[in-house]
Chain A
């Protein structure tokens, strides 16, 4: 197990290094002069030269790459050109919204999807199964911003239970923060839960057809006992994969929902970075997201190994 974890860690570092080279290459090397790009066509030569100096664009490509990577390793992501503050500060502030929102949405979606998928698989071909399948189909098909607006209409404007948007900050109290994130989390969780429930259903159905389930019944386990003690763990393996993917997607992919609820999240930071041509912000945030995705994949891999003994001894 430890050997496996170590081996995966080595390959993780290699992926990070490769990703940093690609991101650096795409943003700084390929499109010509980043400073001229950031300032637009009407910029004077002097302004461009000044910006080049400010961005640290003087010097060789290799030297610049290493100073970028070296900076990131000690937490220095450079200074945003438009906001005039260190990128690390910007990102940290946004993460305080995006990370809790992602975890909240994932927790909601898992809590709903696994029992629902189980129920559908247990009643395969029955009314409950058809109902759940239709509902999850709808959950995937409905655009989540529309659903978000519906939530605002009903729960904020109609019932007045939640605010319509904005985030007061965690200083205003934990529950106030959670309350502000509830509607966005529900809106984000709906399609994810629908996908997860379907995966859970089909994965459990496959497991139910396995020979070892029949063996379990022959030992005297009831249908329910067999599912709980032999089916679930086997069925959760594909579900873990999807959960890992959903985490990475939600962390930066919540941009539309962030806009609907006016939340200062990571998605909006990247969006603003792109339209304001703030390459330093874009570069650093993208690198950070790559890091998050790779870390989550690593955790998912470790979870696999914890669930499945066949993976523990393989390298």
Chain B
């Protein structure tokens, strides 16, 4: 029996392993052959074939519901209940679909590691991180408890959680999202698997963390000679990471090629649509030069932090530290920064939802808490922000408690708002679960504009949407802005979206605005180091690929 546990990492240098592994790099580690999956009779994965070689990063891209995650779960044989899979999955020549469940358990974690999307919930909250990493070794019976903890310490250090700051006895709730994802990676690579599957590993993280995690993953694949399957909806992420890419749509792989070829030639119309939508620029007029709608001066917002001990001193965290900003009528202002920089806290203060410790926020010269109807908000999760037991008409009419209007006027306004966002008057009697994600976000926008506000705060409002839906929503927002002379405060971690829809941008760091200016100027020639870091961290599709791809797509793009 082969013992895969490295006794000491030093004697097992990455250089050596690369040398020994490279000759068979041409041999595929994973071969998926005609894989199909039905869930309760509904086909969700259809005839999918691809292969991944050692040391290679293979991208699997597609929009939500395209079957990319289910393909990965089928490889792991962890498909949800009611699923029936057909086809073959070969791992170094062994057909996984033919293995007994016992053998499959020995394969998972040892030969295939997997990382999931949601690091906040992927770890057991009741067990320490050292314990959870060590479990990978313990469950495969390759190490004693003390040996396993020793390896856990090494692996955690390898993923950037050194022993001095992140002891093995730390618990998941003491770590941030990016740190937790590192723990998940340490668990997945503890036994140096041949294949690592990362399912949207950075989608829940901000750009800075995303860049670090992606760097870590590609380093690991190279150092350990692992094959890495990177599943993502983000074309820019695969552009920077993968050597080959498969595009999935409605359960099928519709295009698979070398990354550069795939982007530059964009031979499949669907790939071309994806590319175009991900770069979509709504045609909009600049909105600067109007009268000021929102004026914030020197806003300070503090949070009390829990005391360290019963008799410890009371501690305060200053989430927003002396921020001033002005938004004019018809203007879009972007607010960017890494997670925890105070963006959302500032947004809540602007909406008049929280009391400030100092400073003032005025709308049309009146303190914001007195004129709440002039400010509305759209948040990231369209489903979570609606009461599922109320009909759409009532949901949209919600902000009317802020205004004295008669019932017929309200009803007319609700219909008007629904039609403005591209839905129909009949939709007032339907429930929210009857709508798709994009339609729900339209309803959220209808709810925001129904009281004819002056300013709409869009807090990551398009972040959870697929690229094609996101492109349509950005068009809608632009259209509404021009029709109703709305002002937007647009909070997003996605710099491309900010570039496409805002006139000015504010960069926030540790509660302060560190840079502000015209969007194009700030994003193309950033001055502050924090802005530069943010822009450097954002994944991008190389310019020349885009030009080539768009050129390749040109003849086709005119025909509908």
Interfacial residues, chain A to chain B (CB-CB below 8 A): 3, 6-7, 210-212, 214-222, 225, 229-230, 233-234, 307-310, 313-315
Contact = CB atoms under 8 A, between A and B. Distances in A.
B101 A222 contact: yes
B306 A315 contact: yes
Interface stretch (B10-18, B108-116, B374-382): B108-116
Instruction: Describe A's contact surface by its main secondary structure.
Output: helix
A3 B306 CA distance: 13
B171 interface: yes
Contacts of A3: 309-310
Contacts of B123: 212, 215
B446 to A, nearest CB: 32
- Per DSSP, chain B at the interface is loop
Given A218-B108, A219-B108, A220-B140, A211 B121 contact: yes
B243 interface: no
B501 interface: no
A222 B128 CA distance: 21
A212 B127 CA distance: 11
Contact of B76 (A218, A233, A234, A309): A218
B105 interface: yes
B482 interface: no
B184 A215 contact: yes
B139 A225 contact: yes
Nearest to A229: B135
A231 B177 CA distance: 22
B124 to A, nearest CB: 4
Interface of B: 76, 78, 101-102, 105-110, 113-114, 116, 118, 121-128, 135-136, 139-140, 171, 173, 184, 187-188, 306-307, 309-310
B188 A234 contact: no
3 A-B pairs with least C-beta separation: A220-B109, A219-B109, A211-B121
Nearest to A4: B310
B140 A310 contact: no
30 contacts: A7-B310, A211-B118, A211-B122, A212-B122, A212-B125, A215-B122, A216-B124, A218-B108, A218-B109, A218-B113, A218-B114, A219-B135, A219-B136, A220-B106, A220-B108, A221-B135, A222-B101, A225-B139, A234-B124, A234-B126, A308-B125, A309-B126, A309-B128, A309-B171, A309-B173, A310-B125, A310-B171, A313-B306, A314-B306, A315-B310
A219 B139 contact: yes
A218 to B, nearest CB: 4
Nearest to A215: B122
Nearest to A220: B109
Nearest to A211: B121
Contacts of B139: 219-221, 225
A220 B110 CA distance: 7
Contact of B78 (A6, A211, A214, A313): A214
Contacts of A219: 108-109, 135-136, 139, 187-188
Q: Which of A221, A233, A314 has the most CB of B within 10 A?
A: A221
A105 B105 CA distance: 40
A3 B105 CA distance: 42
Contacts of B116: 211, 214-215, 218
Contacts of B105: 220-222
Contacts of A210: 121
A206 B71 CA distance: 25
A20 to B, nearest CB: 25
Contacts of A221: 105, 109, 135, 139
A221 B136 CA distance: 8
A307 B306 CA distance: 21
B417 to A, nearest CB: 36
Contacts of B126: 233-234, 307-309
